[in-house]
Amino acid sequence: MQPITNIAIRAARRGGEVILRQVDRVEHLRVQEKARHDFVSEVDRGAEQAILEVIRSVYPDHAILAEESGRGGATETDLRWIIDPLDGTTNFLHGLPIFAVSVAFEARGVLEAGVVLDPLRGELFVASRGEGALLNDRRIRVAKRTNLDEALLGTGFPFRDFGNLDAYLDMFRTLLPRVSGIRRGGSAALDLAYVAAGRLDGFFELGLNPWDTAAGLLLIQEAGGLTESLREGVSPLLSGDLVSGNPKLLSELRDLLAPWCRALSGPPVD
Ligand code: 2AM
Ligand code: CA
């Protein structure tokens, strides 16, 4: 495994330790609302610090894009870490056990390593570019199911910006009667890891941030799946509006969603 992937794993595990230490005392945590419906707690910040400490101790010259501290580190490099210390904060704060740590590394705009850790279940999803994807050291692949009728999809509902709510509901209405089921877990990083592991056949969501998706995108790619942006000419990482699945299912999903993509408004998330 690449040294960079090992550092990503070590960093994610340190973040997971911080989260687990606080999981039984969520009612005592200091919580702020960054924007309406968008929360941050001292656990998000503590986990992010722990992750950054690991990365900076080894790679002090790399750039950082992290959910809570934003852009940091060196600016004159195209080696960048993309970090969500706690994906699924709302779940975490309610004691709902669906959340994850997401750590990715990108070189010259190409994702090289991606790690999603579910600290409660002890599930570690790891991808290195060109080397495949693993769940706790076992190789994972996207599901082979190509019949939409049998497919179980993941999604996320809009929660902060409702500018594209109508487009989202049109997509939902189009897919719901055609698939076996749609699940909404509340952690996009875990949803994407589950697509990589074949637990979900596909995924779609609007308005995601790069830290929610970077590690998951590489996991899906290395597990034999694909992700496409729902915005023409913008990558899935940058657009934040995306659809994933195995290649056959993805093309069907994309065709079904296409009529509603034209209506997507607002800037893609940065
Ligand atoms: P976060 O917990 O890191 O902010 C997809 O729904 C993503 O939206 C989640 O991965 C989650 O990432 C983010 N999110 C933020 N606030 C949310 C909320 N109130 N409900 C659902 N998701 C939320
Ligand atoms: Ca987060």
pLDDT tier, 269 (very low <50, low <70, confident <90, very high otherwise) = low
pLDDT tens digits, 70-108: 999 888 889 999 999 999 999 999 999 999 999 999 999
Q: Per-residue pLDDT for 202 more than 80?
A: yes
Residue 267 is assigned to a structural domain of this protein: no
pLDDT tops 60 at residue 270: no
Answer yes or no: is 270 within a domain.
no
CATH code assigned at 36: 3.30.540.10
User: Is the domain of 126 the same as that of 29?
Assistant: yes
How far is ligand 2, taken at its centre, from the CA of residue 197, in Å? 22
Q: Domain of residue 203: give its range.
A: 148-261
pLDDT of residue 116: 99
- Nearest ligand by distance to the CA of 39: 1
Number of separate domains in the chain: 2
- C-beta of residue 218 within 8 angstroms of C-beta of residue 140: no
Q: Does 186 fall in a domain?
A: yes
Q: Is 89 in the pocket of ligand 1 (CB under 6 A)?
A: yes
Do 135 and 7 share a structural domain?
yes
Which residue among 43, 68, 83, 90 is best mutated to probe the pocket of ligand 1, counting the most ligand atoms within 8 A of its Cβ? 90
| CATH code, 192 | 3.40.190.80
For residue 246, name the pLDDT band (cuts at 50, 70, 90).
Answer: very high
The ligand that comes nearest to the alpha carbon of residue 44 is 2
Q: How far is the CA of 142 from the centre of ligand 2 (A)?
A: 25
pLDDT value of position 210: 97
- 243 and 184 in one domain? yes
Q: Which of 238, 242, 239 is nearest to 220 (CA)?
A: 242
Q: Please tell me if the CB atom of residue 37 comes closer than 6 angstroms to any atom of ligand 1.
A: yes
Residues 133, 12, single domain; the answer is: yes
User: Where does residue 215 rank: exposed (0-12), middle (13-18), buried (19+ CB within 10 A)?
Assistant: buried
Q: What does the pLDDT read at residue 265?
A: 79
* Amino acid 242: pLDDT: 97
240/164 same-domain check? yes
C-beta 222 within 6 A of ligand 1: no
Whether 52 maps to a domain, the answer reads: yes
Question: Per residue in 48-69, pLDDT tens?
Answer: 999 999 999 999 999 999 999 9
Distance CA 11, CA 6 (A): 9
**Closest ligand (CA of 15):** 2
User: Could you tell me the distance, in angstroms and rounded to a whole number, from the CA of residue 170 to the centre of ligand 2?
Assistant: 27
CA-CA distance, 117 to 125, in Å (whole number)?
6
> Do 169 and 199 fall within a single domain?
yes
Q: Of 146, 155, 134, 136, whose CA–CA distance to 223 is shortest?
A: 134
- Closest of 185, 262, 187 to residue 231, by C-alpha: 262
Claim: this prediction has a pTM higher than 0.85: yes
pLDDT tier at 32, thresholds 50, 70, 90: very high
Mean pLDDT, residues 175-188: 98
Q: Are residues 185 and 90 in the same domain?
A: no
pLDDT at 74: 87
Mean residue pLDDT across the chain: 95
